[in-house]
Amino acid sequence: MPDDHPVYYWDSCVFLSYINGTADRLPDIDALLDRSGKDFQVITSTVTIVEVAFGKLEQDNETLDEVMEARISGLWGTDSPVKIVEFFPVLAQAAKELMRQGRGDGLKLKPMDAIHLATAKHFSAARVHTYDEKLEKYEDLIGIPIGPPLATAPKLL
């Protein structure tokens, strides 16, 4: 993929919406996954693999499902349109600093969320895609727009 294509960072909740088949979110997620690697690149941290360990039905029923496991594993396979980026000490330090900076501003950033935001910043993401509205208040802290994934730009009225 050419270097001039934007990078979109996906938070774990986008993948959870995908594997859980959240109907109102699937059209955007599917469309973006189809275009990833062509028009832009979707990336996420290796920590996402841990956060996306179970589907909702598995959690609710406290049982494991082979079909769900295959769906989850497919996200991280070699044919996946999602690029997994490593979590390493520089990112850990950056995540810690985001947590400390946020606290100084009266914000409370959870460690995993801090890792996602620090990773997006480190890899110069054009946008952080998440359904976690609480993260939007960290836009100024990382200098990257944060919001839900949208396959098309919203129309202006």
Within a domain: residue 55? yes
Task: Identify whether the C-beta of residue 1 lies closer than 8 Å to the C-beta of residue 37.
Answer: yes
| β partners of residue 71 | none
Within a domain: residue 128? yes
* Burial letters 54-73, b for 16+ CB under 10 A, else e: bbeebeeeeeeeeebeebbe
Within a domain: residue 13? yes
Within a domain: residue 118? no
Within a domain: residue 156? no
The CA distances from residue 39 to 47, 48, 94, 119, in Å, are: 25, 23, 28, 21
**Residue numbers of the domain that contains 55:** 7-86+124-147
Return the amino acid letter for 99: M
For every one of its 157 residues, what pLDDT tens digit does the chain have, with 9 covering 90 and above? 346 789 999 999 999 999 999 999 999 999 999 999 999 999 999 999 999 999 998 888 888 989 999 999 999 988 999 999 999 999 999 999 999 998 877 889 999 999 999 999 999 999 999 999 999 999 999 999 999 999 875 544 4
Dig out the tokens for 128 from the structure: 């952080």
Total number of domains constituting the chain: 1
Q: What is the pTM of this model?
A: 0.91
Within a domain: residue 116? no
Within a domain: residue 98? no
Tell me, what CATH number does 26's domain have?
3.40.50.1010
